[in-house]
Chains A and B, each alone.
Chain A
Amino acid sequence: MTTFFEARQLVSPGTLLAEGNYQAGFNVYRENGKYYASMVGLADVRNNMISVIPLRGCYIPQPGDIVIGKVVECISTAWMLDIRSPYQGVLFASEFLSKPLNPLKEEARRYLDVGEMVIATVIAFDRTRNPSLTARDHGLGKVHRGTVIDVDFTRVPRIIGKKGSMITMLKKETGAQILVGQNGRVWISGKSRDEEAIIAEAIRKIEAEAHTTGLTDRIREFLVNSRR
């Protein structure tokens, strides 16, 4: 059992990572007892599991993820949502409204129109069918106020931080409501547009400097300075 990389070393597809009795984690594949990277990223081994933290890539829905979707199409009893993934999300009327929707009597567009944003969770996804979403839970539903910004999907873990350290700090320092969708969209609702713009800028900064040390402190400093 040997690994051929240093902790958090930059690897690219085809790089031999390890040999022996390991488990293949994210972005790692096994061939003839050897483990190779399948993406550019930082190699990591934890609890015998070898994985690559990706530096590029797109969002693949996982059941339970909170996502922020943009309505792109209204069908008679469902909406198609762009969730920044190769697969569009399907939000059935029964998963959004508290009462049944009769397509003969009313149009789905009355409740949710193209271009509007929805906070939802992924119920099920197996790549053979588009991911189905639900917005019938606490804190989910149509976005009525605030700002939604797109961020790089690979930076989402950094925006949340270790055990939520970054997001907790952002909320505490600004008093705003912030929700990070797993699909690389962030909803910010503050007291004013200006405040939302400052938070958005802070998030852009996190995105740009994602893999640097002491980032939480620097962002706090940035927020304190820009409030003055």
Chain B
Amino acid sequence: MEELKTRLISDDGIRCDGRRLDEIRPIKFQIGVLNNTDGSAYVEWGRTKILVGVMGPRESHPKHLALSDKARVEAYYRMASFSVEEWKSPAPSRREVELSKVIREALEPAIFVELFPRTSIDIFIEVLQADGSTRCASISAASLALVDAGIPMRDLVASIAVGKVEGKLVLDVQDKEDKAGDSDMPMAYMPSKNAVTLLQMDGQITHDEFIQSMELLKKGCLEVYKKQKEAIEAHFKGAISNVEEA
């Protein structure tokens, strides 16, 4: 008697939400959505919804934490209680603290921190709805919020994940695939520098699959990068377009 199991990928390589294996979810970035921050961005990444606000560079508080040679970058990743299917405790979890650190480390190489010694740059990330790849969406949206805050950067940071589901590599992992899959590998990338700022992996993959994953990740990051640039274009074009004389 064979066990009945829901499959996540059909025989002709279509995933449970209708995507091909190397297809990303629909991504919509919006810049400058908040009034009381220096820079902000909102992203809808499939069903994942994240709001990012950036404050700074501003005087570092408490003062003893200020660094004398560069700005202190701090990320605060937080999931709303209603962001997941089961209610999440509002207390900061181990996972949130870890993701805050990882996101900060993925963004800091892109920022010219040495230009603002003794100041701090705070990145507040609020996950409103989570459906996988929240760290990737957070990093991608946060780099747009940093741009909106007018913080000098080397490049935008684009991020995406590759997973292994039912023996196949899939780009842009959603929650269902993440939970059922064998591995998850997020990457953050600065395309014009060809520099990786974050690479994590859990689960098990072979060396060949790793090489393939890297190719897939690069391709995905470039697609995200394109969306980011489009969002910047859309937001700032309005400010500089020539007004027709009445």
A residues with a Cβ closer than 8 A to B are 8, 10, 12-16, 27, 29, 31, 36, 38-40, 42, 54-58, 86-88, 127-128, 154, 209-214, 218
Contact = CB atoms under 8 A, between A and B. Distances in A.
A13 B117 contact: no
Interface residues of B, number: 39
A39 to B, nearest CB: 6
Contacts of A210: 239
A27 B151 CA distance: 10
Contacts of A36: 154-155, 192
Closest 10 CB pairs of A and B: A57-B150, A14-B155, A56-B150, A13-B153, A211-B240, A38-B152, A86-B57, A14-B192, A212-B243, A86-B119
A8 B236 CA distance: 13
A58 B112 contact: no
A81 to B, nearest CB: 13
Give the dominant DSSP class at A's interface: loop
A213 B192 CA distance: 33
A203 to B, nearest CB: 17
Given A54-B150, A213-B242, 5 more contacts: A10-B233, A29-B152, A36-B192, A86-B59, A212-B241
Nearest to A127: B117
A87 B152 CA distance: 17
B39 A56 contact: yes
A42 B117 contact: no
A128 B149 CA distance: 22
A56 B147 contact: yes
19 contacts: A12-B156, A12-B229, A13-B147, A14-B191, A14-B193, A27-B152, A31-B193, A36-B154, A36-B192, A38-B152, A39-B150, A39-B152, A40-B150, A57-B150, A86-B58, A86-B116, A87-B118, A209-B243, A211-B241
A31 B192 CA distance: 11
Nearest to A82: B59
Contacts of B232: 10, 12, 40
B207 interface: no
Contact of B240 (A13, A55, A56, A88): A55
Given A56-B148, A58-B38, A86-B57, A38 B117 contact: no
B103 to A, nearest CB: 18
Contacts of B86: none
B57 A12 contact: no
A104 B240 CA distance: 55
Interface in B135-170: 147-156
